[in-house]
Amino acid sequence: MEYSAHQIASLINGEIIGDPQVTVNNLSKIEEGAPGTLSFLGNPKYEDYIYNTLASVVIVNKDFIPKNQVEATLIKVDDAYKAFAKLLEAYNTKTNGLHGIEQPCHIAPTATIGNNSALAAFVYVSHRAKIGKNCKIYSNVSIGNDVIIGNDVIIHPGVKIYQKCVIGDRTIIHSNAVIGSDGFGFTKNDDGSYAKVAQIGNVVIEEDVEIGANTTIDSATLGSTYIRKGAKLDNLIQIAHNVDIGEYTAIAAQVGISGSTKIGKRCTIAGQVGIVGHVEIADDITIGAQSGVTRSFTTPGITILGGPAYELNESKKIFIATRRLPDMMDKLRLLEKEMKELKAQLGK
């Protein structure tokens, strides 16, 4: 489908500089712009590309003032990146549409599916599962007994949702994520072998959450593992049993969080962080990449870093001291040598 600059500007409340009737039928990066495409300039370091891009329409910030002539039609908005993201979402919805219930699917007689929800082929919906309105569930998704899925949920191919889990409105779950698998619960027998502890709880994912591909969220031993409203989880994350992730917290890839840990609201956890079990992280804390969190941090708003993790200023001191260790060792060896020479002179 083609859209004019005028139509696009009306969608994002933008001001047109150039030809309002020029049309686009695709999207492009500004450095790879082609005729008939829409692009955006959000980062000033890419400004040079706008003077040579072949894109027909470019979304820019209102404060952008060209240094040279720009051939493309410009649409000025308050925030070019946010405006382009809005258009990307609309484009994605149109190009990845799913309608009706494809066959073969298995839907248990006791399951219910809300109005305007769509299921791709090979979806399995088990007993007493409830799927809300306007959901899109793609192929090879498995939904267990008594699962409750809210409205406007998108579940991508290969996702597995175990029994009794709850998925909130407008949640997005990406391919091959596993929701509600058994927590890592075992007791050690006298002979050194392990006996499994049944994990009879569930996972509760609140509204507006996004779960990345191949992320695993374990069921609680008792009660629930919680992913609170608006949280964003990247790919390849492990959330253990009875963990509680606070509202609007963002977690990058390859993070592992051990059981019964509580993460506060609006926290940012960078890649490859490991957090031990039964600790508490206060609201608005940032955890630097590859940190190992071995204790609770209860002061809101701080940044922690390192392995083991310390508050940022303390971590910097440790880092600086570590960098000085080779020089300190050289000085120590010199002192030892001088001490030996001095003892020899004193006949000791």
Q: Which of 256-265 are b and which e, b meaning 16 or more Cβ less than 10 Å from the residue's Cβ? A: ebbbbbbbbb
Residue-wise pLDDT tens digits, 310-321: 898 888 888 888
Say if 268 falls within a structural domain: yes
Residue-wise pLDDT tens digits, 246-284: 999 999 999 999 999 999 999 999 999 999 999 999 999
Q: For position 37, which CATH number holds?
A: 3.40.1390.10
Reply yes or no on whether the pLDDT at 347 is more than 90. Answer: no
Mean pLDDT of 207-212: 98
Reply yes or no on whether the pLDDT at 94 is more than 80. Answer: no
Say if 294 falls within a structural domain: yes
Task: Indicate if 88 and 10 belong to the same structural domain.
Answer: yes
Containing structural domain, residue 249:
159-308
Reply yes or no on whether the pLDDT at 338 is more than 80. Answer: yes
- Domain count within the chain: 2
Task: Indicate if 164 and 298 belong to the same structural domain.
Answer: yes
Task: Indicate if 177 and 302 belong to the same structural domain.
Answer: yes
**Confidence label for 95 from pLDDT (cuts 50, 70 and 90):** low
Task: Indicate if 83 and 205 belong to the same structural domain.
Answer: no
Q: Which of 106, 156, 241, 278 is catalytic?
A: 241
Of residues 157 and 93, more confidently modeled: 157
Does residue 35 have a cis peptide bond before it, meaning omega lies within 30 degrees of 0?
no
Sign of the Cα pseudo-torsion (202, 181, 216, 106, in order): negative
Task: Indicate if 182 and 290 belong to the same structural domain.
Answer: yes
| 160, two tokens | 């597995």
**Confidence label for 170 from pLDDT (cuts 50, 70 and 90):** very high
**Known active-site residue 174:** no
Say if 77 falls within a structural domain: yes
